[in-house]
Amino acid sequence: MKRLFALIAVFGMMFFMASNTVVAQDEAAAQDTTTIEEVDLAADLEEEAAATAEEGKSLHSQLKQKFIEGNPTFMSFVLITLILGLAFAIERVLYLNLATSNTKKLLSKVEEALDNGGVEAAKDVCRGTRGPVASIFYQGLDRAEHGIDVVEKSIISYGGVQAGLLEKGLSWIALFIALAPMLGFMGTVIGMIGAFDAIQVAGDISPSLVAGGIKVALITTVTGLVVAIILQIFYNYCVAKIDSIINNMEDSSISLLDLLVKHNMKK
């Protein structure tokens, strides 16, 4: 009986020790799992933070970084081209928008002035209206007493002057449109020359040797093309606006001649 109790006690102690060992192993495994999960979670948080920081970079900082990577020497020339081209383009856009006027309204006012106050009243209307059309009308009305032929010649001559004023500065915009990609391609060629020089010095073709020069070449090329595209959009807008204004000038001039003929016939 005592032996039986002794065996039971021994088995009980062995079972208790085995249980404690298993529990300890489980706890250690759980701790290891928790540690691994914490490490993975920390890595994920770091990646998310890095991604957030990358996404949070402002456009200004990104452009500044690309400017430095693309060799500031060549990028500065392209940037100067963009600034000067935009200056001329914005000046032309403002001038052309101010030169745009309602020609139908002006014609009705001139006709009413001719019927009520004569040529001098019509000249006052043109003098108080801005735009090339009003200036052409004034030049034509100022020579109304010399006959329709003189008025027509005056309108044609002064119309050419006004067209030249409208097109002033477009040649500079076209120059900067041509210069921007040229400067970019120059940076491309010089960057490729630097890459081949590095290959010649090292005596081996390695991606790390040519990557820097090729990167400079590509960045300068892209920048030059982007500048040219931006300036080309402004240039085409100005050309379209000038064509519209010149067409209005021609149509309005013909209408003015008709009004003067009617006014002389009423006399």
Q: What percent of the chain has pLDDT over 70?
A: 64
Indicate the pLDDT class of residue 144, thresholds 50, 70 and 90: confident
Mean pLDDT score across all residues of the chain: 75
Beta carbons of 71 and 220 less than 8 angstroms apart: yes
Can you give the pLDDT at residue 210? 64
**Same domain flag for 190 and 237:** yes
Instruction: Say what percent of the chain tops pLDDT 90.
Output: 19
**73 and 51, same structural domain?**
no
Q: pLDDT tens digit string along 104-127?
A: 888 888 888 888 878 888 888 888
In a shared domain, residues 14 and 83: no
In a domain, 171, yes or no: yes
Whole-number pLDDT of residue 53: 45
Domain that includes residue 167, residue range: 68-267
In a domain, 111, yes or no: yes
Query: Does residue 63 lie within any of the structural domains?
Result: no
pLDDT confidence of residue 83: 92
Position with higher pLDDT, 17 vs 160: 160
* 62 is a domain residue: no
The answer on 264 and 214 residing in a single domain is yes
In a domain, 244, yes or no: yes
Give how many domains the chain has, as a whole number.
2
Lowest mean pLDDT among 10-24, 157-171, 174-188, 237-251: 10-24
Whether 35 and 90 share a structural domain: no
- What is residue 39's three-state secondary structure? helix
Say whether both 17 and 147 belong to one domain.
no
* Residues 9 and 93 occupy one common structural domain: no
Give residue for tokens 């801005």: 130
The answer to the question of residue 264 being in a domain is yes
- Same domain flag for 265 and 210: yes
Same domain, 153 and 244: yes
**What is the mean predicted confidence (pLDDT) over 51-73?**
56
Q: Please indicate, yes or no, if residue 164 is contained in any of the structural domains.
A: yes
> Mean of the pLDDT values across residues 5-23?
42
29 and 126 share one domain: no
Nearest to 224 by CA among 194, 192, 187: 187
Residue 61 belongs to some domain of the structure = no
Are 152 and 257 in contact, with CB atoms under 8 Å apart? yes
Overall pTM surpassing 0.75 (yes/no): no
pLDDT band at residue 228 using 50, 70 and 90 as cut-offs? very high
Q: Are residues 52 and 74 in the same domain?
A: no
Regarding whether 149 and 24 lie in a shared domain, the answer is no
130 CB contacts (<8 Å, ≥6 apart)? 98, 99, 101
Residue range 49-65: mean pLDDT, rounded: 53
